[in-house]
Amino acid sequence: STALSRAGAIGGLTAFFLWNVPGLVVLTVCGVLLTTFIEDPDNPPFWLAGLPPAAVSLVFKAFYGFCQKLDKLGLCLALVSGLIAIGINHDARIPPTSSQYVFPITLAVGGLITFLDSKRTKPFSSYDKPPSAGWKVESDALMKRIGIPIWVGCLLFVLWAGVLTLTVCLVNLTDMHENIYLEIFELMFCIGSIIFGGDQVVLPLLEDEFVPSRMSRNQFLQGLGLAQSLPGPLFNFSAYLGAVYQGNVWGALVAWAGLFGPGVLLIFAMVPFWARLRHVAAFRSILKGVNATAIGLVGAACVILWEASVVDAADAMVFCLSGFLAVVYNVMAPLVVLAGGVLGAILHEDVLNLGQLPYCEA
């Protein structure tokens, strides 16, 4: 948004691609190479063993930081949404893919609750905080610099809705096995369309859709560790998922475009309206509830990914070290993942063979 407000639409798109290209390229290459050269995904080499718990520790840090900004009502909404997400992921009677419908409904209910609360004489939360400076509707210079009129914003909304509807219809009307790339794009575009909040919010949805039907849990967590260690948003993780699923660059590019596409279209579509809406009290109150509910999904990701990534004492040691470095010393994410990877490699059964006894035997 900073590049968009200062350099207009072209500057915003340029900044977007420059910020994302390094992560896109590296994760695509890693996904293809790991799929090609690692024969047993469930028995990864020692140099990959520490990546999953190190990456999950960063998700915990993000969740803790988000919760620090919530009031009591926001924490309650986050708790409820987190419980719902955990329940969906660990109930044999509920298909994990139902999260594509349940999560948006949960976000909407969260927004409705804070909206109704804001109308009470003595609300549980505070809604009188004025919007920060910038993006003022009265600033003609700013709106001219951005260069996106309202009619273009409406057109982008229609384009997003059209692409979403078309891809869903095509997948439902055709055999997905005949066009696997359409399946990947539709899946990612749907997920990208319903996500709100930080990057980590997308993790429960991605795991529900890709594990175990499209890849092993170890492959998923290894990619998460690699994505956390690179610059750019966590959404670049989609390139790795597409590369592992299809074993080629095209799968990575289709998955990446599918996940990022809705966000790019909706951000540019929203820009002409944002300066006005952010001064509307009702809109701000709804946004507060949606944001708090989305944070609960990050909490659910912590629980789900912890259970998957920390299976023995060695993993727990890596998690503790990585979390300590990230939270106490605020070490940068790439160095946290590197430190966790080194410790995991040292403790691996092929090196020192320490802490390898599983917590739960099958």
Residue 137, pLDDT > 70, answer no
The model's pLDDT over 45-104, given as tens digits with 9 standing for 90+, comes to 999 999 999 999 999 999 999 999 999 999 999 999 999 999 888 787 888 778 888 889
pTM of the shown model:
0.90
pLDDT band (50, 70, 90) for residue 270: confident
Of the spans 93-107, 197-211, 277-291, 329-343, which averages the highest pLDDT? 329-343
* Spatial contact of 183 and 17, defined as CB atoms under 8 Å apart: no
User: What is the structure's pLDDT at 63?
Assistant: 94
User: What is the structure's pLDDT at 300?
Assistant: 92
CB count in 10 Å sphere of residue 42? 9
* Spatial contact of 106 and 84, defined as CB atoms under 8 Å apart: yes
Residue 8, pLDDT > 60, answer yes
Cα dihedral sign for 259, 199, 270, 149?
negative
Rounded average pLDDT over 143-172: 87
Q: Identify residue 5 by its one-letter amino acid code.
A: S
* Spatial contact of 185 and 308, defined as CB atoms under 8 Å apart: no
* Spatial contact of 27 and 220, defined as CB atoms under 8 Å apart: no
pLDDT band (50, 70, 90) for residue 129: low
Residue 302, pLDDT > 90, answer yes
Q: CA dihedral in degrees (6, 9, 15, 19; nearest 10)?
A: 130
User: What is the structure's pLDDT at 132?
Assistant: 56
Residue 138, pLDDT > 60, answer no
User: What is the structure's pLDDT at 267?
Assistant: 86
Residue 261, pLDDT > 80, answer yes
User: What is the structure's pLDDT at 279?
Assistant: 79
Sequence-ordered list of residues with C-beta below 8 angstroms from that of 52, at least 6 positions apart, any chain: 218, 221, 222, 224, 225, 305, 308, 309, 315
User: What is the structure's pLDDT at 133?
Assistant: 53
The model's pLDDT over 9-20, given as tens digits with 9 standing for 90+, comes to 777 788 888 889
Q: How far is CA 303 from CA 19, 81, 281, 310, in A?
A: 30, 13, 34, 11
Rounded average pLDDT over 331-350: 95
- Which range has the worst mean pLDDT, 131-145, 259-273, 348-362? 131-145
The model's pLDDT over 230-252, given as tens digits with 9 standing for 90+, comes to 888 899 999 999 999 999 999 99
CA 241, CA 278: separation in Å to the nearest integer?
Answer: 35
User: What is the structure's pLDDT at 299?
Assistant: 94
CA 293, CA 195: separation in Å to the nearest integer?
Answer: 11
What is the chain's mean pLDDT, rounded?
88
CA 57, CA 318: separation in Å to the nearest integer?
Answer: 9
